[in-house]
Amino acid sequence: MKQSVHLLTKIAVLYYQVGLTQEEVASRLGVSRQTVGRCLQQARRQKLVQVNIQSPLFYCTELEMLLEQKFALLEAIVVAPLMETENSVKEALGAAAAEFIARRVQAGDILGVAWSSSVLAGAERLPPVKCADITVVQLNGSLDRAAYSTRAEVIGHHIAQAFSGKQVTIAAPLVVDRPDILTSLASDTRIASALHLAHHASFAIFGIGDISTQSSLYKTGYMDDNLLARLQAVGAAGEICGRYFNDQGEICLPDVDERTLAVTLSSLRRKKISLAIAGMPHKARAILAALRAGYCNVLVTDEATAKMIAAAT
């Protein structure tokens, strides 16, 4: 199978420049040693490797390694979009995320998925993958509250369909009016079963939102002007799965958090793979806070945002 230029470049850099063995490269990227060998041959055939590594993605690859080292990431993927527009960035993020998911998912994995426009971009670009016994479950509630749709079920459907797997939904709102309502919902057999599955997912896929009117939560109506003002007043930096956190990764506004139907952020630290798909410079603060808190061990982002994150102290 012909591999992408990005994967060929990363393997070539790890092998030729960093000096890892083929077995070490295979272990780091979650592929077989035979795949590494074939990729090195393909890289040479395509003249990505000559005396030194020749690739338009080389600078991004160096940024990836910098982020991996700085934040102890399993893997960082930094894309170079054709344009610095939101749509162009999301298309590039989605393509890179889809490649990573297809490469990393293993038979029997439970994929926990949170809705976001960046995750949707990845789900839409995911090709058919032969991998047995895959289950896709929502990480948070999703019933729409505005004309702007979360498309949570669509995201789950795309991913489950790509793996010919099973989809489990959470047919309930992300945020409810009172804690006792959340307790009641969580006691429902179907919702409790889905949440249990989400907490035990081996592979989590989610976006990272900022605290602004540009966020998906604002567009879906889960964040109104009053909540936005409260979050900004307490120094909220971002959100994952509808849970808001500050620059230290600590939960903001506990009264809102206790009404939120979603996996806990701490559970993301325990996943085998916790994949965050997020880009654009206005999200740099939110992404940086999530990285510092260890909520993801894999990051897919764009070059401009990666530079800002890498430069942060």
| Cα separation, 151 vs 115, whole angstroms | 7
Can you name the residues that pair with 150 across neighbouring β-strands?
A: none
Please list, in sequence order, all residues whose beta carbon lies within 8 angstroms of the beta carbon of residue 231, skipping any fewer than 6 positions away.
Answer: 211, 223, 244, 252, 253
How confident is the model over 283-310, as pLDDT tens digits? 999 999 999 999 999 999 999 999 999 9
Place of tokens 């930094």: 78
Say yes or no to pLDDT of 146 above 70. Answer: no
Say yes or no to pLDDT of 148 above 60. Answer: no
Q: Are 153 and 159 in contact (CB under 8 A)?
A: no
Say yes or no to pLDDT of 52 above 80. Answer: no
Helix (H) or strand (E) holding 161: helix 152-162
Place of tokens 């992408």: 4
Place of tokens 């009053």: 226
Delimit the domains of the chain by residue range: 1-55, 57-311
How confident is the model over 257-282, as pLDDT tens digits? 999 999 999 999 999 999 999 999 99
How confident is the model over 191-230, as pLDDT tens digits? 999 999 999 999 999 999 999 999 989 988 899 999 999 9
Can you name the residues that pair with 111 across neighbouring β-strands?
A: 136, 203
Which CATH number among 3.10.20.30, 3.40.50.1360, 3.40.50.970, 3.40.50.720 corresponds to the domain 57-311?
A: 3.40.50.1360
Please list, in sequence order, all residues whose beta carbon lies within 8 angstroms of the beta carbon of residue 255, skipping any fewer than 6 positions away.
Answer: none
pLDDT of res. 1? 61
Output DSSP code: residue 282: G
Among 104, 84, 236, 239, CA closest to 159: 104
| CATH class assigned to 1-55 | mainly alpha
Could you report how far apart the first and last alpha carbons of the chain are, in Å?
A: 41
Among 249, 302, 256, 312, CA closest to 279: 302
For the sheet with 203-206, list strands across it: 75-79, 298-302, 273-277, 203-206, 110-113, 135-138, 166-168
How confident is the model over 97-132, as pLDDT tens digits? 999 999 999 999 999 999 999 999 999 999 999 999
